[in-house]
Structure 1
């Protein structure tokens, strides 16, 4: 562990979203057995919270057509918390039957992105959420709310902080305490993170706020650092930096899980994750996807990883 920073939480909880958010936009179907292999590797590294799949139409997201099979491989793990994204009542019914611990409901803070992302208005999304909340009653399955485009919209530009807090209140009124601010478009900055976390803490003081950043403009980890400075303990990340919203122009990947774990550990924030094993999971993800991923720590190693002086040439002249 690194040097503890005053004001930072002693520990943080990272939800691994690679199996869903990371893989969803991959054009070539990843075999179910390989998805299970990757998730098992992440469990072995110490991660315990997963957005493991999404129960969506196979026509809309072919990569997630094996959602029930993936869930079946891990539903009996008492030491893992498994969530799935659900867009509608049909998906919610399938997720409940599959045994998820929680369902993630998502809508955008901007109307135009919601129309692109789920092909419905924001109001229609919330009408559907009310039905899902009724389905979840008495099942033991929790509901979590995700606010997409919480830091900006690629079609409308700036998103008013009031749109974000209003959406958080609507989630709360449906019984959700865990609310994620999603940087779907990679438009977050540290200043925006501080502004929106402060506003959300005032608007929904009992909310358990989580932060989800993309690294589109290279400041994803800086934004996570700003979140730590505000006392946030829940973050989402994707192994190797996999993913990126398919309904955002010029989108790039999520913040890399292993890079986030490295930053947190060097900042004195415990995660319960074995970084060496996690970098092995990142390399496994590269092998499964078949291309280089943007994560940095799996390439460079941790700060104090040493090498023989014979491994590099000596300068001359």
Structure 2
């Protein structure tokens, strides 16, 4: 067989050279095949490295080190439980502020961003708390304006349903002195802050209504620190009765505001100091004496 040259001429080719070329190619192909020994050695290398052959050795080492580091780290805290705890505390604070009159009906609440920064909680926690307060009818949200304390329509007070101040003081004498033990056992940091804030409001009050609001806010905070919902609800009824009566006293105000305020601030500051010192007998005695003194000043008037 003749092969064609570049100019079209045929170049003679011998059969012997073609056979030699074929045998040479076959020999190279056989030599390039992996032998059983090479396959075994390659498997031993893969088994020793425990890494896929497609991954470089450096990546395999980094992956192994990262896995060991993650295994040695302590478990992360339960973020959901922490969020629920922070949301419950924020809910209690805002609800208490509304019940105590610090957020009056129609008042505009701080923004979610401001509440998040003030109480150091996540924006999502603030948002969930607002949704809960809206569902309970305590606040309303107006698009483009903000969040406001709901304006609740107060029923007209019935003269037959009103309780006199001596009646309320007698009732308070039955449970408030015994309440101090629960308060000492259960009060948290936010409760002590509420006590001090109420005392400051009492000292700064320049009207009779402001003074009485601050004084009852202190005793409501003490009741709230007991974590007894029945006691808290009962004290809410006491405050509602006094507000319905306009915080008045039977026979008017026989003593000047400054004198009444000074005595009340001294007595209540002593009660708070005994609570902070965890002195149950002294706190109980001071609470009892304060209520007896108040009752004696209004009874028979």
Smaller-chain TM-score bracket: under 0.3
Greater length-normalized contact order (CA 8 Å, ≥ 6 residues apart): 1
Q: Which structure shows the bigger proportion of residues in strand conformation?
A: 1
TM-score (norm 1): 0.24
Query: Which structure has the larger Rg over C-alpha atoms?
Result: 2
TM-score (norm 2): 0.25
Q: Which structure shows the bigger proportion of residues in helix conformation?
A: 2
